[in-house]
Chains A and B, each alone.
Chain A
Amino acid sequence: MFADLAWLQAPPADFRARVKAVRAALADGTTEERLHELASVRLDLNQLGALASTVASFLAVAPATGPLARVRLGLIGSGTLGLIEPAIVASALRHRVLATIVGGDYGSAVRDAIDPASALRCAGIDLAMVALDHRTLGLDRPQLAPGAAAAAVAAASATMAAMIDGLAASASGGVMVATVVAPAEPLFGSLDAVEDGSVAAQVAAFNAQLVDWARAKRIVLVDVARIANAVGVDRWHDAGQWHSAKLPFDPDLVPLYADIVARTIAAVRGTTRKCLVLDLDNTLWGGVIGDDGVDGIALGQGSARGEAFLAIQQAALALRERGIILAVCSKNDDDVARQPFRDHPDMPLKESDIAAFVANWGDKATNLRAIAAALNIGLDSLVFLDDNPVERAQVRRELPMVAVPELPADPALYPRALLAAGYFEAVAFAQEDRARADQYRANAERAAFAGTSDMAGYLASLDMAADFRPFDAVNRARIAQLINKSNQFNLTTRRYTEAQVAVLEADNTKVTMQVRLVDRFGDNGMISVVVIDTAGGDGRWDIDTWLMSCRVLGRRMEEAVLDQIAGAARRGGATTLTGRYIPSVKNKMVADHYAKLGFIRGGDDDDGSNGGSDNGGGETVWHLDLATYVAPDLPMHITSSVA
């Protein structure tokens, strides 16, 4: 998870072309956001280098201020830093920092720091970082004579203290110091931890000194040792690379190392994220609340799946405790979305923990804008957690300044994916931070939601292909399952058994459709089922059943399905399409379905053929005149074998 920066997307295939496009238009005013976007994927050493050289070119023409924070970092370290410097510059973009790095001379780390006349100290830096390893600090060999280990640690600490003081005089923004990664090789074995003279114990004592300094605000700690532990010290220290090129650690881990440094810079400069926006269905609990109900979602002890969702909620709560604002952005009816918060006994998160709660059927980019506005924070303060890759892609495309982590298939890994990304890196914690999330909530309650979004471009980019065909034996079981399980986008909620579906299939007075949708993220499977009764007479076709998967809402699939129905009806000689909405507890979201599609409301109990006297439940009936129906221009490719 850590070593491969698994929370980031793979880079686009045309990464190099995109870099060149930015280089070709450095002064066009969008460069900083484009650089940020390019850096927000998983990059290798070469790609990091290409971005860093683009930053260098941009800085020659860049305005003094812009959307990204400016930092001039002096970097001092052991061994060859030439791979690390450009990687930090590129990774800093990811954390919304435009960095210049002033490197020390090879092998002169101590002098660069303590000599007021060194090139590094005269370069106008505003932040410094020292990353010395056990070799440079003289902590690389056992000290078994009495007092020798303490002396070695004291000498290393004295050297470091002098460097820190020297750099602090030239870097007003502070001095970042990396903890030391002890080698994996034992001297005694487990006794190394006990015996002060072991290399491991010396390094531990030195690191403890750094922690004391960090607590006293003398330095900002960069806990490289902890990251090395997370990926494995066996992998971290690469003896071959040290001997041949003086690389201080495995070069494959440079992207991770650079991100750790970059996120610390971001924390110093205050560009880290403030707010975690959470999707609900299959992100905070397993299943779909609108379909499965409070009793049916997976959450809580007793099942591995339920415990996994408990863990991500607890992770979110822990973030709230340290001052991170929590928000909800879900495609649901508001009251349905709130049910688990109110009624589920194992739900750690409560409504009062959520500063902005947005559940509706609008697109998520628009809703994220509304959340940021309601909380009065920038979009670049948001992290958006959603299990659905389509939603993630829409948000990334429309709001590249929002951080959107990739999530693994297994919800058990959600907490690590979220937390390993370092969105909320901090360099201090105050008790007031704990109250911050509450304050934002109070402010948000005064705000309102609004906004629109470039949906057309987004939909076109999905490369959607929809396939329409009549019911068939192969898919009968799945059709019956959808007919019996779909609650929300279901106009009539008529349930048919598999045997009844077989009868519909064979009935030549019925037109049936099963719809599949494929997009560039993969196969969405069967996303709609339609049954039409053609026996009503008077040139009228009645839509008996129309249901759709909520996953494809907002993608104009409703219009595509209607277009197929209308086409079939015209070919069948019909002049009018009739649809009805039968309200249920769960299908409120489609109350206006037919109105939105251009149907005109008729008498609500004017139906003869379906025994449709007023059922007292608010049923509405709608008509579409096929003579006036105009086929829409849809953002998808259609394949159809519907008669």
Chain B
Amino acid sequence: MTIDEIIRKIGDVMVDVFDVDDVDVTAATSADDVEEWDSLSHIRFIITLERLFKIKFLNEEIADLKNVGDLARVIQAKLPA
């Protein structure tokens, strides 16, 4: 799956997780851009992504992510080739 495809799927998930409609997700999108993205909804976000992509994150993998692009790269590395 390409980074762009993963980002698109992440964008779909964000609608449900953050309960927002008008979110234009790019690689540069971060928690600063989405008002509803707080520490609690972040937990739901991670859990939802794990279920969608059928992966499991390690804490250290997601501790220092800056934006959706970083997240997509972590996901891509975990997906079967």
List chain A positions with a Cβ less than 8 A from chain B: 16, 44-47, 49-50, 53, 80, 82-83, 240, 243-245, 247, 251-252
Query: Would you give the shortest CB distance from B78 to chain A, in whole angstroms?
Result: 16
Query: Would you give the shortest CB distance from A197 to chain B, in whole angstroms?
Result: 32
| 7 residue pairs from A and B, CB less than 8 Å apart | A45-B48, A49-B19, A50-B16, A50-B19, A82-B43, A251-B44, A252-B47
Q: In the complex, which residues 19-73 of chain B have their Cβ closer than 8 Å to any Cβ of chain A?
A: 19, 40-41, 43-44, 47-48, 51, 59
A46: B residues at CB distance < 8 A: 16-17, 19, 44, 48
**How far apart are the CA atoms of A365 and B47 in the complex, in Å?**
39
**How far apart are the CA atoms of A45 and B13 in the complex, in Å?**
12
Query: Would you give the shortest CB distance from B46 to chain A, in whole angstroms?
Result: 9
Apart from A45-B44, A47-B16, A53-B19, what are 10 other A-B pairs with CB-CB below 8 Å? A46-B16, A49-B19, A49-B41, A50-B19, A83-B40, A83-B43, A244-B59, A245-B43, A251-B44, A252-B47
Dominant secondary structure at the B interface: helix
B47: A residues at CB distance < 8 A: 45, 251-252
**How far apart are the CA atoms of A80 and B41 in the complex, in Å?**
12
B48: A residues at CB distance < 8 A: 44-46
**How far apart are the CA atoms of A119 and B17 in the complex, in Å?**
29
B40: A residues at CB distance < 8 A: 80, 82-83
**How far apart are the CA atoms of A240 and B62 in the complex, in Å?**
13
**How far apart are the CA atoms of A50 and B44 in the complex, in Å?**
12
A252: B residues at CB distance < 8 A: 47, 51
Smallest Cβ-Cβ distance to B17: which chain A residue: A46
Interface residues on B, range: 10 to 19
A53: B residues at CB distance < 8 A: 19
**How far apart are the CA atoms of A49 and B45 in the complex, in Å?**
12
A45: B residues at CB distance < 8 A: 44, 47-48
Contact B59 A243 (CB under 8 A): yes
Name the contact of B43 in the complex, choosing from A16, A47, A243, A251 (C-beta under 8 A).
Answer: A251
A44: B residues at CB distance < 8 A: 48, 51
**How far apart are the CA atoms of A275 and B59 in the complex, in Å?**
48
Query: Would you give the shortest CB distance from B38 to chain A, in whole angstroms?
Result: 9
Smallest Cβ-Cβ distance to B43: which chain A residue: A245
Supposing A45-B44, A83-B40, A252-B47 touch, asked if A240 and B17 sit within 8 A by C-beta, the answer is no
A243: B residues at CB distance < 8 A: 59
B41: A residues at CB distance < 8 A: 49
B59: A residues at CB distance < 8 A: 240, 243-244
**How far apart are the CA atoms of A82 and B38 in the complex, in Å?**
11
**How far apart are the CA atoms of A50 and B48 in the complex, in Å?**
14
**How far apart are the CA atoms of A259 and B61 in the complex, in Å?**
33
**How far apart are the CA atoms of A83 and B48 in the complex, in Å?**
13
**How far apart are the CA atoms of A524 and B49 in the complex, in Å?**
38
Supposing A240-B59, A243-B59, A244-B59 touch, asked if A16 and B16 sit within 8 A by C-beta, the answer is yes
A83: B residues at CB distance < 8 A: 40, 43-44
B19: A residues at CB distance < 8 A: 46, 49-50, 53
**How far apart are the CA atoms of A316 and B62 in the complex, in Å?**
50
Query: Would you give the shortest CB distance from B28 to chain A, in whole angstroms?
Result: 24
Smallest Cβ-Cβ distance to B58: which chain A residue: A240
Query: Would you give the shortest CB distance from A13 to chain B, in whole angstroms?
Result: 12
**How far apart are the CA atoms of A82 and B42 in the complex, in Å?**
11
B15: A residues at CB distance < 8 A: 16
A16: B residues at CB distance < 8 A: 15-16
